[in-house]
Amino acid sequence: MTLRCTMVGMPGAGRYAPSPSGDLHYGNLRTALLAWLWARSTGRDFRMRVDDIDTQRSSATSAERQLADLAALGIDWDGDVLYQHDRFDAYANALRHLEQRGLVYECYCSRREIQEASRAPHAVPGSYPGTCRSLDDATRAQRRANLAAAGRVPALRLRADVTQWTVHDFFAGDYTGDVDDMVLRRGGQAPDWAYNLAVVVDDAFQGVDQVVRGRDLLSSAPRQAYLAGLLGIEAPDYVHVPLVLGPTGRRLAKRDGAVTLREMLHDATPGEVVSRLAVSLGFGQVSSAAELLEVFDPAALSGEDYVWEGL
């Protein structure tokens, strides 16, 4: 199965893929700018995707505001914006490919059951312990019927044949992380596609071979790279960049106050915000994203998190 759409001789691409659940804050903008700089400085296209697979939390208005904010900072992109809510058929196609190889099974566990199982001795914290992996047909039929009586359907999980996978990251080097029987399609009354499947399929479709995102997502890279291999996709180059921390030392959040672009623009111009972002990255003051691109050097970036102190 071939999902990557990059043509031979054509450049690869970087991307930024925000979830439209609110305005982007300073940390989001810094990561977006880095993703754009990394792609443009390496001769790649830059793709934009709206990760609105979580239909309950996503907002079309929020997506519009986020895209407008990125454009205001001088971050441009190639091609049309891709919306995950338009991609369900592609996820279903990838799922069928895995099912045909016997790599998918139904999971009937509730969230509480999963949490309790993950606390058991020898269980890997946060990983699914494979409770439903080897159930017999009669047990599966009964569990499926119990869910159906409650108007629910089972989740679908990957039957992984490894417990760890190694990726290479620009900052972390070779990084080995846990791989479990990850959810591919969520269960319940309104089944939703799972993020790990969607991001792998969409990156391939957009020709993305360079993923620049926050360091907090590093632990998800081994799972996604492993799944990509099962789908016949080459894993991208990973760059998990340092985070912006708030006053308490935790990752910056909107609750830290006056950190979204629209709030900052009450007292600063877009160029001044870009300049502050450039300074936070270790470069001098600039007047625009284009000017920052001229001096951008990945080797000069610090691997340390940046503490937000306001504009």
pLDDT tens-digit readout, 167-190: 999 999 999 999 999 999 999 888
pLDDT at 78 over 60: yes
Q: Give CA–CA dist 291/39, Å, rounded.
A: 15
Q: What share of the chain is helix, strand, coil (3-state, %, to 5)?
A: 40, 20, 45
pLDDT at 125 over 70: no
pLDDT at 56 over 80: no
Radius of gyration of the chain (CA): 21
What pLDDT does residue 259 have? 82
Angle between helices 195-205 and 221-230 (to 10 degrees): 60
- The mean-pLDDT minimum among 56-60, 86-90, 145-149 falls in 56-60
What pLDDT does residue 6 have? 44
Contact 24, 18 (CB under 8 A): yes
- The mean-pLDDT minimum among 4-8, 200-204, 279-283 falls in 4-8
122-129: list long-range contacts, CB under 8 Å, 24+ apart: 124/163, 124/178, 124/180, 126/178, 127/178, 127/180, 128/157, 128/180, 128/181, 128/182, 128/183, 129/180
pLDDT at 54 over 90: no
* Bridge pairing between strands 173-178 and 104-107: unpaired
pLDDT at 7 over 50: no
What pLDDT does residue 36 have? 98
CA distances from 249 to 122, 182, 254, 305 (A): 31, 31, 14, 10
More confident call, 120 vs 193: 193
pLDDT class of 126 with cuts at 50, 70, 90: low
Average pLDDT, whole number, for the chain? Answer: 91
pLDDT at 122 over 70: no
Structure token digits, residue 194: 């799972």
pLDDT tens-digit readout, 241-286: 999 988 778 888 767 665 899 999 999 999 999 999 999 999 989 9
Contact 23, 62 (CB under 8 A): yes
pLDDT at 121 over 90: no
What pLDDT does residue 2 have? 47
